[in-house]
Structure 1
């Protein structure tokens, strides 16, 4: 299926496009609640108080771009009823605890600009709630009630995120509590 936005048709994803995620995460407090345990390395990241949402999100996407060959990205927007899903009439796919997402094949620029109304992590943010490249080499996911974002991918990607002060990432083991120091669960 395809949906029009900005005078262009965009491919809408199906359950098959997220089948590698659905049913492959584990309930709990570890990073594998959001990211399947299939990657070489994992990290959590969140916007620091002294950094704007735009700067934080741009830093995160820039690091991802440096570790990703040119290809489409899948962007998924969680339908909470309170946040912009970008394509409100598109069909939904269901992940985690049967949460509905709009899944669209686009790219990094769309990830940074399409959402206008903010999201759960900060009121001025644009990033999708879940996104990954077509080759599935990494996954970024923020669960409904978390104020941080989880990342799984190659060692080099996680190393680069840790080195970028604006990305504000910290490495976590798959069995470790994903809650970043200084944050609390809602």
Structure 2
């Protein structure tokens, strides 16, 4: 199936496109609740109060682009009933605890521009709730009830995110609590 936006057709993803995630995460407080334990390194990142949503999201996407060969990205929008899923009539794929996501193959530009109604982490944010390149070399995921974002990928990407104060990332080990310092769970 395809959906149309910006004058072109975009492929809608299926359960097969996220099968490497579905069933490969574990309940709990660690990074592997959001990210399957298949990457070299992991981090959590969130927007601080002194940084705008646009600056934070642009910094995060810029680093991901720099560390990802040119290819399509899968963008997934969690259907909470309260946040923009971009394509409200598109079929859903189920991830984590059978949460419904709209999954569309697009790219980094669309990751920064398609969503206009905000998301769980920021009312003015545009980022999808989950996204990864076609080669699955990294995964970015924010769970329904978290105000931070989890990242899994190459060690160099994680270290680059850590060095950028706007990206505000902290490396975590697979069994470590993913909660960033200074934040609390709802």
Aligned mates of 2:6, 2:68 — CA distance in 1: 25
Q: Distance in 1 between matches of 2:12 and 2:159?
A: 32
1:176 aligns with 2:176: yes
1:41 pairs with 2:41: yes
Aligned match of 1:142: 142
The 5-angstrom pairing of residues 114-133 of structure 1 reads 114-133=114-133
Residues 16-39 of structure 1 deviation map (CA, whole Å, 9 limit, x = unaligned): 000000000000000000000000
Please report the RMSD computed on the Cα atoms of aligned residues, expressed in angstroms.
Answer: 0.4
1:5 is displaced (CA, Å) by: 1.1
Q: Which residue of 2 aligns with 1:77?
A: 77
1:113-138 Cα deviation digits (max 9, x unpaired): 00000000010000000000000000
After TM superposition, the runs of 4+ consecutive aligned structure 1 residues lying more than 6 A away are none
- Give the alignment of 1:25-40 within 5 angstroms: 25-40=25-40
| Partner of residue 14, structure 1 | 14
Q: TM-score, normalised by structure 1?
A: 1.00
Q: What is the aligned residue count?
A: 186
Q: Taking structure 2 as the reference length, what is the TM-score of the superposition?
A: 1.00
CA distance in 2, matches of 1:138, 1:37: 11
Residue segments in structure 2 that go unaligned for 5+ positions in a row: none
Partner of 1:107: 107
Q: Distance in 2 between the 1:107 and 1:152 partners?
A: 18
5+ residue gaps in structure 1?
Answer: none
